[in-house]
Amino acid sequence: MDVHFRKLRSRFHLSPAEERFIRDSVSEFRTYPENHTAIRAGEELNHSTILLSGFMGRYKDLKSGLRQITELSLAGDWTDIHGFTLKRLDHDIGTLSPCRVALVPHERLQVMTEAYPRLTRVYWFGTNLDAAIHREWELSLGRRPGIARMAHFFCEVYVRLDLVGLVQAAGYDLPINQTELGECLGLTPVHVNRTLQQLRESGCLDFRAGRVTIYDMPALMRVGEFDPGYLYLGPQPL
Amino acid sequence: MDVHFRKLRSRFHLSPAEERFIRDSVSEFRTYPENHTAIRAGEELNHSTILLSGFMGRYKDLKSGLRQITELSLAGDWTDIHGFTLKRLDHDIGTLSPCRVALVPHERLQVMTEAYPRLTRVYWFGTNLDAAIHREWELSLGRRPGIARMAHFFCEVYVRLDLVGLVQAAGYDLPINQTELGECLGLTPVHVNRTLQQLRESGCLDFRAGRVTIYDMPALMRVGEFDPGYLYLGPQPL
DNA sequence: CGTGCCCTTGAGTACAATCAACGTTCGTGG
DNA sequence: CCACGAACGTTGATTGTACTCAAGGGCACG
């Protein structure tokens, strides 16, 4: 759970009572294998999930089989706290790697909204941050060319992983394949491959075998026109 | 304000006290002209806005001048309640037509989170619904071909306007031009024009002079692969 | 040592962008 | 009242980014 509080504390001060309330709210820990669908669209929900380690994603599919990942969940994130108010999701949630999660019953979140208004606002902020990430991806998918979209994506994941100490000197682990990367970027696997080669040749970045190596972050940010404002980093007023 | 409560009541029961609290929270009514930027990205916020009539949008821009509209706000919607927790936005908010709005100070929303937990959950639901719409647009922008994207868009607006009685027999008013439609769909104006012609020729729909006329809704839904599940229509558990 | 998964490459295609011009409508001012 | 300009819509020609189809290569694992 520490990774969750670490992420929270990067933006907000939490009282001991608030932190204790959340710690005491976990009803169960689980481990999921790679490529496991944890929640299916439409299914009735009575708990939400905190991702402790690994990578999960939100998936939406077309009948044609084409699939879009609409957001990546990283260690420390709620994967589905929006399910607390929505009660069923409009998308699947699945793992991209083996994952460890903590489950929190919705009754506890209900109690939270009644007894811990500040904590409620903190988590409301969290879902609004998710929406901000969705919007940035809409901009990428709608308007950025493939290479900028990809560069922007790697910048975002860099910054978000850095929040929880998962960035090392020259890069980070991202255990997904090129097809899944394409599902994030709205590109076919073949085109992902060719675009990756462009980024490699430009000397910005390498991505292979689930490992991102960044050679030139400023250049990468320039290519992706990356501005982290939408991630609301650092202490927030609230 | 009635249009706002009408939309709320389509999904939730509101107590008289809750409704009164919101009515009493409006500090000001305003009228904006067409094409007015009401909120700029990054600007510090101390109120949120309910759209009473007209059409507004959330805009994100690239340096190149390309622009993406990430969501449309319709009469009855909060345009920026996410600003309550975020305190500044990652996008501009502007009008697509002349608009009438009601402003609610953030102090009142703060009080709401402390005294009206159920109302808080209702509005939290609202921002989660916004995120669901963002996700559906990500799917459109990333994976649907232009014509399906456009058909899907017109279906969504149809359903959302219908909620507040703004759909007439054969269609609805949508006072935007082809360039703005392209900014919603991630298409250039020229391509929007050609795609519209395809929809016209197929007999599904006509869009001209700010008016959408639907000739064959089932066909339109088929073209856009539209399933309204993501709009969480009808009474919600919460 | 296959077999399957993933990555890579090549050739051809297509959807959508770009560039450029022209038409229509409408409001405004001479 | 007509001329003009601006905004918007339409069309044609051309280009290019990204997709499709197809095949081959590397590597891990049973």
Mutate to test the interface with A, among B90, B91, B108, B147 (most CBs of A within 10 A): B90
Average pLDDT over residues A22-39: 97
A86 shares contact with chain B (CB less than 8 Å): yes
A129 and B60: CB-CB below 8 Å?
A: no
Give the pLDDT score at A188: 97
CA distance B225 to chain A (A): 8
In A151-180, the residues whose Cβ lies within 8 Å of chain B are none
What's the pLDDT tens digit per position in A161-208? 999 999 998 899 999 999 999 999 999 999 999 999 999 999 999 999
Query: In chain B, which residues have pLDDT < 70?
Result: none
What is the per-residue pLDDT for A169? Answer: 81
In angstroms, the CA B81 to CA A128 distance is: 9
> For the residues A229-238, what does the mean pLDDT come to?
95
Of A71, A117, A131, the CB nearest to B114: A117
Q: Of A122, A135, A226, which to mutate for an interface test with B (greatest number of B Cβ within 10 Å)?
A: A135
Question: Please, which residues have CB within 8 angstroms of residue A187's CB and are 6 or more apart in sequence?
Answer: A146, A149, A150, A181, A195
Confidence (pLDDT) at B114: 97
**Minimum-distance nucleotide, CA of B194 to C1':** D10
The answer to whether A91 contacts B67, with C-beta atoms less than 8 Å apart, is no
- Contact state of B117 with A120 under an 8 Å Cβ cutoff: yes
Which of A41, A68, A87 has the CB atom closest to B142's CB atom?
A: A68
* Cβ burial, residue A206 (10 Å; 0-12/13-18/19+): middle
Name the one residue in this structure whose structure tokens are 């389509």.
B10
pLDDT digits (tens, 9 = 90+) for A85-142: 999 999 999 999 999 999 999 999 999 999 999 999 999 999 999 999 999 999 999 9
Provide the phi-psi class of A105: left if phi over 0, else alpha when psi is between -120 and 50, else beta: beta
The pLDDT of residue B66 is: 95
Judged by a CB distance cut-off of 8 A, whether residue B192 touches chain A is no
**Tokens representing B141?**
């922008």
Residues 94-113 of B with CB within 7 A of strand C: none
Look up the pTM and report it. 0.97
Within B 167-226, residues with CB less than 7 Å from strand C: 186-188, 190-191, 195
Centroid of chain to Cα A181: 13
pLDDT of the residue at A170: 85
Res B169: pLDDT: 81
Per-residue pLDDT reduced to its tens digit, B58-107: 999 999 999 999 999 999 999 999 999 999 999 999 999 999 999 999 99
Distance of A187 CA from C6 C1′ (whole Å): 17
Q: Of the candidates A208, A173, A187, which has an alpha carbon nearest to the alpha carbon of residue A140?
A: A187
Q: Is the CB of A197 under 7 A from strand C?
A: yes
According to DSSP H, which parts of chain A are helical? 2-9, 16-23, 82-86, 106-115, 117-143, 146-162, 178-185, 189-201, 217-224
DSSP string, A196-227: HHHHHHTTSEEEETTEEEES-HHHHHHHHT--
pLDDT tens for each residue of A48-64: 999 999 999 999 999 99
Contact B138 A134 (CB under 8 A): yes
Give chain A positions within 8 Å (CB) of B143.
62, 66-68, 186
Q: Is A129 on the interface with B (CB under 8 A)?
A: yes
